Amino acid sequence: MRRAALRLVVTAALFLGCAAGVSYATGRIAAGSGGDTINGCYLKNGALRVVTGHARCRTGELPISWNRAGVRGPQGPRGPAGPEGAQGEPGADGADGADGADGADGADGADGADGADGADGADGVDGADGAPGPAGPAGHLSCSDEARIKAALPAFELSASCGGGGGGNPSCTDASDAPNTRDAAADLGFLSGDHSSPRLHTKGQICAGDTDWFRFTLREQQTDKVKDLSTSVTLATGSGDDLDLCVYTVDETLVGCSRGGGGVEEVVARVADDAAKDDGTTFFVQVVGGSPTGVNDYDLKIRGDID
């Protein structure tokens, strides 16, 4: 039984040697000393020992060697895919590409609103005077014109046909003569310009070229409301009487004049409401006599809040 076992060991060693690529030495020295070869010595009874370098086998031993690695086998099947690795860091930005071609022009937008007007330019140089025109026909002042001039220039002499010196009626006087200057104007009182109130009324007489002056105050009554002040001044005369009616503000600004040849003359005045102050103000009324001769009767009426 012992001898059978030894043979089995040797047989196994020889089998392994063949499988690993065994080389048999013909001498007593184990062949091969490379790093890829294993050297050994074995007995006939199957005992095997590994030797290193150029060691000699003992008496009764035979040398043997085999490769450390066998012949490479066929490639095995591909294993399953491993799990997806973590995402790497973003790479650096690439260089900018070349600019593309310009696109077609879009449609024009709507015109914007007109800008504010610029400041007026400087006045140009005056042109040369034109040639004088032909002389006009000789003028003639009516008695009404003479009366207006007389009212503005007391030294002006009326013509004889209009009651001045040398004819007519130079001694015309009126029994109820009103003041002839603005500074001495007769005060007619006051009335409301934004609420119904009694009107102011006076009657008088005036000669050609004479002037009567009156004054009145227009008051703001409804201070808690926004409403403009207004007034109407009317002058009623006899048929054919040529009287003029003019109204002025307290600073001598002309509001308006009504000039006619008889009947009713009217001048309207308005004052814009200013919530920051009292809008009450004073007006002056001028009646100018323009009839050629005699005394003219007139009726002066003033109403407030006509709007």
Query: Tens digits of per-residue pLDDT, 101-137?
Result: 988 998 998 998 988 888 888 988 888 888 887 765 5
For β-strands 211-219 and 186-192, DSSP reports them as: parallel
pLDDT of the residue at 6 = 37
For residue 85, being part of any structural domain is answered with: no
Is the pLDDT higher at 295 or at 148? 295
Residue where one domain finishes, among candidates 21, 50, 67: 67
What is the Cβ-side half-sphere exposure of residue 185, based on CA atoms within 13 angstroms?
20
Read off the pLDDT band of 174 (50, 70, 90). Answer: low
> Cβ–Cβ contacts within 10 Å for residue 243, how many?
28
For residue 269, being part of any structural domain is answered with: yes
Residue where one domain finishes, among candidates 67, 100, 119: 67
Query: Tens digits of per-residue pLDDT, 218-238?
Result: 988 888 888 888 999 999 887
Average pLDDT over residues 202-230: 87
Split into its structural domains, the chain has a count of 2
pLDDT of the residue at 4 = 43
As given in the structure block, the two tokens for residue 251 are 């600073």
Which CATH number do you get for residue 289? Answer: 2.60.120.380
49 and 174 assigned to the same domain: no
The model's pTM is: 0.46
In the predicted model, is pLDDT for residue 179 greater than 90?
A: no
Share of the chain above pLDDT 90, in %: 25
